A and B are shown apart, each in its own frame.
Chain A
Amino acid sequence: MNFRQRGRNPRLNVAVPIITKKRKGAEAFSLRLLLTLSLCLFALPSVALTGEEIIDQVDKNMTFGTARTEAKMVIHVSGQERVKTMASYSEGEDKSFSEFLSPPRDKGVKYLKIGDNMWMYLPSVDKIIKIAGHMLKQSMMGSDFSYEDALESNKLKEKYAVQLVSQETIYIKFRRGTEEVTKARPCYVLDLTAKVKDVNYHKIRIWVDREIFVPVREELFALSGKKLKVMILGDVQKHGSRYYPRYVSMKNLLREDSLTEMIITDIKFDVRIPKDTFTQRNLKN
């Protein structure tokens, strides 16, 4: 094994010479030390990652060129459950086009997002509505996600300072199909603190799976430090070299029993997206 090659961290280069300078009489000891150290060094490359680097790794998983998704949204409100299904195309972070397929009353409702703008099409009246101003702060289709949440850019690094806080193993509860799954995952805990003022959440705490670099839990905080929302991501599946969660839930902590789950039933990356998908004209088709 080649330490030097793997360890990009300068600290590694310093550590090795120290070991070679050990006295011969202490060989057995030093051998054991070497063994322990080398074990540590196996782990070290990841431990030594900075917060920023972890986020970079996450981004590799979570961002993509294009994708086609089919998903199911389950909204729990005061004991009731409402299920909506949708299909969407996305291109990068800036463009997406979604269409609701069920229930019947929502069938044909379409959303188009281009950059910071969002439009909605209501088939019952054949009208396009631009979602702006106060509407942005409202819940999207009655879920715990607001339109704002949907628009919020994933490029967190630009707006937030990332800091690796600790590592811990947490339990994640999610749904896979119909079964409930609880999994223990070793995670990095990252604190993202806003560098600029115009962000919705001043602080975000993210738990990133240490092995596959997928975020599994996010907590969103107010400026005062009060926790407002909790997001859980689970049911991670491998798509080529990419790990991607198929389950996302969002819970608003200031509201009693409200929870929204988003379950991806089918996702394909790097698909060819029909021309003119991301146009207002397409909303009316």
Chain B
Amino acid sequence: MLLRLAFRNIFRHFTRTFLTFLAIAIGLMFLIIIDSMLTGIDQESFDRIINYETGHIKIFDRGYREDEENLPLDKSIDSPGRIVKAVGLEPEVAGVTSRINFRIMLSDGIDQYPAVGIAVSPSDDEAVFLLKQAVTKGEFFFTASEESILLGEGLAEDFDVDVGDYMTILMRTKYDTFQALDLRVKGILKTEDPKIDWAAVVIPLGLGKESLDMGQGVTEIDIKIKDPARLEEFRDMLAQKIPALEVVTWKELAEDVLAIARAKRGGTSIMLFSIFLIALIGISNTILLAAFERTREIGMMAAMGMRRGQIVRLFVFEGAMIGFFGSITGCLLGVLLNIPFVKYGINWGILMRDVGDVGYRITGVSRGVWNIDTFVIAFVAGIVISALTSIYPAWVASRLEPTEALRKA
């Protein structure tokens, strides 16, 4: 009965209902969109690391991690083929490849510059990483043993080299023997990841294995999984299967970046809180105004013999109902608006057009994310806030004597 009454009331005062509904919907929509944008910016830096440096999960030789800074070649996985194959057969795995990371000195005959060498598989690397897509000039490798390198954009600029030029890289083999190669620059990389753009020299895996005297060995196996949410579970599962090696998630590898994100979240959460606050005020004020307006109506109900609890419950029902529809609409609007954000991203770089020539170019496209938690929170909050704020005016109004209430307003 109460429910039906509530339902009827909602439709009787259409404009009022509509305004309240709009307050909820718009408030929630903003909350969702801004959360998606802010989380998206964080996600961007994670994605960069995952896409260019870590993949989702890495497998190392035991002991590699203790000496990680030195990129030790002697702590290698000596026969990766079998593991790569086995891992590739796991249903959860989206892609698997192997790499060698090593220290090098880059030289143009005049200057020497320390950099990080990465030997990548021309055929498999793109199953996990996006390096291939990051080649802005020139081409990616065709064969595993071709004698060419890809240079980060920053390094190329520093050394003033372009596609087709030759560079000498000096390194130590697994056994510490000097090794020097003259390689043709085949492509320039631009990833937005400073660790790649300013410090990385990429060579084909075959050439890497041979010139570093690694035999079939690699320093790491990189895995991309289908469901990133199952990161830890998958790691544990793998770790059990190959106890001789160390299985690490990107989260463990990129701890500093995660820490920065946490710090940034301090600022982000203030913003989200502010948005939430203003949405809350918007919703509750609209509901309060709408309810107080109905003091007379409440007096009538009381005069008709409705008990106070019933009146309050009726209002709460009404509030919750509007809240429900408002929340659904808000979430739907959020989804609709979020689709282009997620799909095309927001090009913050447009804001930087007037900066002109600033050595470090940030194109700064960040994409929105689908943050299910926010949707759920926004949805529940929308209903709860509308229901709760309805209590107070109903309570106040129903306390009045029916006559008094009727006289009012």
Contact = CB atoms under 8 A, between A and B. Distances in A.
A221 B170 CA distance: 11
Interface stretch (A41-49, A102-110, A191-199): A191-199
Contacts of B179: 202, 222-224
Contacts of A220: 178
Contacts of A221: 178
28 contacts: A194-B177, A197-B173, A197-B175, A197-B177, A198-B177, A199-B175, A199-B176, A200-B176, A200-B178, A201-B177, A201-B178, A202-B177, A202-B178, A202-B179, A222-B179, A222-B180, A223-B177, A223-B178, A223-B213, A224-B179, A224-B180, A226-B180, A228-B178, A254-B107, A254-B170, A254-B180, A255-B107, A256-B110
Contacts of B175: 197-199
Given A223-B213, A224-B211, A254 B176 contact: no
B181 A226 contact: yes
B contact residues, range: 20 to 34
B260 to A, nearest CB: 28
Nearest to A220: B178
A220 B177 CA distance: 11
A199 B177 CA distance: 5
B109 A256 contact: yes
A163 B177 CA distance: 20
A134 interface: yes
Contacts of B173: 197, 223
A11 to B, nearest CB: 37
A197 B213 contact: yes
Contacts of B240: none
B143 interface: no
Interface in A190-224: 194, 197-202, 220-224
Q: Pick the 10 closest A-B CB pairs, nearest first.
A: A197-B175, A222-B180, A226-B180, A256-B110, A223-B179, A198-B175, A222-B178, A254-B107, A222-B179, A202-B177
A224 B181 contact: yes
- Interface band, chain A: 10 to 19
B43 interface: no
Interface in B145-200: 168, 170, 173-182
B216 interface: no
B312 to A, nearest CB: 75
Interface of B: 70, 105, 107, 109-112, 168, 170, 173-182, 211, 213
Interface in A220-246: 220-224, 226, 228
Given A200-B176, A223-B177, A224-B179, 9 more contacts: A197-B174, A198-B175, A222-B178, A223-B173, A226-B181, A254-B105, A254-B107, A254-B180, A256-B109
A199 B178 CA distance: 8
Nearest to B106: A254
A254 B181 contact: no
Nearest to A255: B112
A69 B173 CA distance: 35
B168 A226 contact: yes
A270 to B, nearest CB: 35
A58 to B, nearest CB: 23
A146 to B, nearest CB: 11
Contacts of A254: 105, 107, 109, 112, 168, 170, 180
A201 B111 CA distance: 22
Contact of A223 (B107, B109, B182, B211): B211
Contacts of B211: 223-224
A246 B298 CA distance: 112
B170 A228 contact: yes
Contacts of A256: 109-111
Nearest to B110: A256
A198 B172 CA distance: 10
A226 B182 contact: yes
Contacts of B182: 226
A113 B59 CA distance: 40
Nearest to B70: A134
Contact of B176 (A198, A226, A228, A255): A198
Nearest to A256: B110
Residue of B111, B112, B180 ringed by the most chain A CB atoms within 10 A = B180
Contacts of A194: 177
A228 B178 CA distance: 9
A209 B173 CA distance: 32
Nearest to B147: A224
A181 B197 CA distance: 49
The winner among B178, B180, B181, B182 for most chain A CB atoms within 10 A is B178
Nearest to A201: B178
Contacts of B181: 222, 224, 226
A45 B170 CA distance: 42
A137 to B, nearest CB: 8
Interface in A66-118: none
